[in-house]
Amino acid sequence: MTSKWRGLTWRAAVIATGGALAACSLAPKVEQPATYDLGAPHIQAAAKPSISAVLYLPEATAPAWLNGPGIVYRLNYENPPRPQPYALSRWSSSPAALLTERLRNRFASAARGIVTAPDGVRADYLLRVELEDFSQSFDSPNASKVALLARASLVSLSTRALVAQRAFAVEQAAPTPDAPGAVQGLSAASEEFVENVLKWTERELAAASAR
């Protein structure tokens, strides 16, 4: 093989390699398989419980489309009524189960005690949470937000009377328009929601005690 021919062959190989690298760099980012939870709960400083009652906190409920581990999103610019999960990214449990765990962890440090199942342990009040939305939505391919919608009900277990009920809504922009952005946004929304429910419960029980 002549030196001229070897030079042409080498240049062709370089061009082919460069083309392949360019094609790879232009290809869309591939979603990698991943499982997420809401992250470690914020550590609360030890203090006197702000709720003097014992609360029964059952599992939060959710509509059928939120019962699985899928990280759900909607394309508002294309088909808003269609919730769909990411193909390879998922929660470690259902959103309702993750939110229940976060609520119980937080209320355990703020109440005189919590009961997680009707196992004969006496509680003063029932705190029921019904999750209505826990998803990411896209107004455009590059802009998304997350929403956590839920209803909380506080019931006196001695009188079976509804003490208070309130709908909560937390919406905020997702850091990135993808599954990790949905996870980060919904984790932050969950923290805000739990703190809002805690403050609401404190106020309602204080008002009930004053009646």
Instruction: Tell me whether residue 21 is in a domain.
Output: no
How many distinct structural domains can be found in the chain?
Answer: 1
Question: What pTM was computed for the model?
Answer: 0.83
Q: What is the 3-state secondary structure (H, E, C) of 78-104?
A: CEEEEEEEEEEEEECCCHHHHHHHHHH
Q: Write down the number of H helices and E strands in the chain.
A: 3, 8
Tens digit of pLDDT per residue, the chain (211 long)? 454 444 444 344 434 444 433 333 333 355 678 999 999 877 665 567 789 999 999 999 999 999 999 999 999 999 999 999 999 999 999 999 999 999 999 999 999 999 998 776 899 999 999 999 999 999 999 999 999 999 999 999 999 999 999 999 999 999 999 999 999 999 999 999 999 999 999 999 999 888 7
Bridge partners, residue 154, by sequence: 127, 164
Instruction: Tell me whether residue 52 is in a domain.
Output: yes
Instruction: Tell me whether residue 19 is in a domain.
Output: no
Instruction: Tell me whether residue 143 is in a domain.
Output: yes
User: What residue numbers bound the domain in which 174 lies?
Assistant: 31-210
CATH assignment of the domain containing 51: 3.40.50.10610
Instruction: Tell me whether residue 113 is in a domain.
Output: yes
